[in-house]
Structure 1
Amino acid sequence: MSSFGIDQARDVLAAQPFSTLIGARLSAYGPDGVSLEIPLRSELLQQFGFAHGGVLSYAADNAITFAAGTALGPSIVTTGFTIDYLRPAQGTLLRAHAHVVESTKRQGLCRCEIVVVAEDGSEKVCAAAQGGARLIEVSR
């Protein structure tokens, strides 16, 4: 288990220009998993008013990688993921919750469930994903 905490994870997220553009925020980060939230605004929707599939994919990708970071630390990248879209995401907020299924010293396998939150606070699962991340060497 990494000693990296939510404050450091939030700093990493804030250092990602695309995450800032999307408006993503971490609401949970720890051994029970990671929750990444994205407030839905008009720029993130497709022509029918649903969250664009690319936004759901981003949420899965980053939630999976941050979840792997709870086991491996911050120097990681996504190795790949699959996503299944279950229903159109129409609401005010996307919440991706991911957790580690298994990890080695160098890589982790994670699962992610994405829910859309309606104005009344009700939630519906709109997508599910599975993927992994592995350690990298970062030279600065």
Structure 2
Amino acid sequence: MEFAQGILDAQPFSRLLGARITAFGPDGATLELDVRDELHQQNGFVHGGVLSYAADNALTFAAGAALGPAVLTAGFSIQYVRPARGTLLRARASVVHAGRRQAVVRCDLSTVETADPTDPSASETLCAVAQGTVLSTAG
């Protein structure tokens, strides 16, 4: 997991957002970030661009666990199911299918409203679902 966090930390935008990898392996990847005022849109919800960022990175990290570290997102779609409110954004991605050169990956994005997001009793609210294709760039 330290390797994955190191790759995330090499992305200036991810450092700006304070994103972190909290799970990484054959079962997928989880990316989290604390929600702060600067990440809201005008109505007080987490901005859709922040949700898209989290989906893109979680999809790519999950695929990287299956295809190797040299991967790029080829494309993804995202459906917003409800406005995102909370203190933490969690993006959980898992590989649906992986071949030699590409993977199809799904990501559920949820918010958590709690002072302690590690509390097992903290409830998550699904706010978006994404699916994408990630390609290996290894030659």
**Common fold by TM > 0.5:** yes
> Please, which runs of 5 or more residues in structure 1 have no aligned partner?
1-5
1:32-55 Cα distance to aligned partner (Å, 9 max, x none): 111000100011111111100000
Letter in 2 for 1:129: A
Amino acid in structure 2 at the alignment position of 1:134: L
Question: Which amino acid is the alignment partner of residue 84 of structure 1?
Answer: Q
Q: Cα deviation per residue 1:53-101 (whole Å; 9 max; x = unaligned)?
A: 0000001000000000010111110000000000001110000000001
Q: Name the residue aligned to 2:28.
A: 33
Alpha-carbon distance in structure 2 between the residues aligned to 1:82 and 1:54: 12
Provide the C-alpha distance between the structure 2 equivalents of 1:128 and 1:94, rounded to a whole number of angstroms: 13
Q: What is the aligned partner in structure 2 of residue 94 from structure 1?
A: 89
Residue type of the partner of 2:132? G
Distance in 1 (CA, whole Å) between partners of 2:61 and 2:87 is 23
Structure 1 range deviating more: 118-127 or 27-36? 118-127
Match of 2:50 in 1: 55
- In structure 1, distance between residues paired with 2:74 and 2:138: 14
Amino acid at match of 1:14: D
Gaps of 5+ in 2: 116-121
Which runs of structure 2 are paired with 1:1-140 in the superposition (5 Å)?
Answer: 6-119=1-114, 121-137=122-138
Deviation of the 1:15 alpha carbon: 0.2
- The amino acid that maps onto 2:24 is Y
Q: How many residues align?
A: 133
Q: TM-score, normalised by structure 1?
A: 0.91
| Whole-angstrom CA distance in 2 between matches of 1:137 and 1:105 | 10
Q: Secondary structure at the match of 1:74?
A: coil
CA RMSD of aligned residues (A): 1.2
Shift of 1:118: 0.7
Give the 4+ runs in structure 1 shifted more than 4 A: none
TM-score, with structure 2 as normaliser: 0.92
The Cα offsets for residues 84-130 of structure 1, whole Å up to 9 and x where unpaired, read as 00000111000000000101111111000000001262210000000
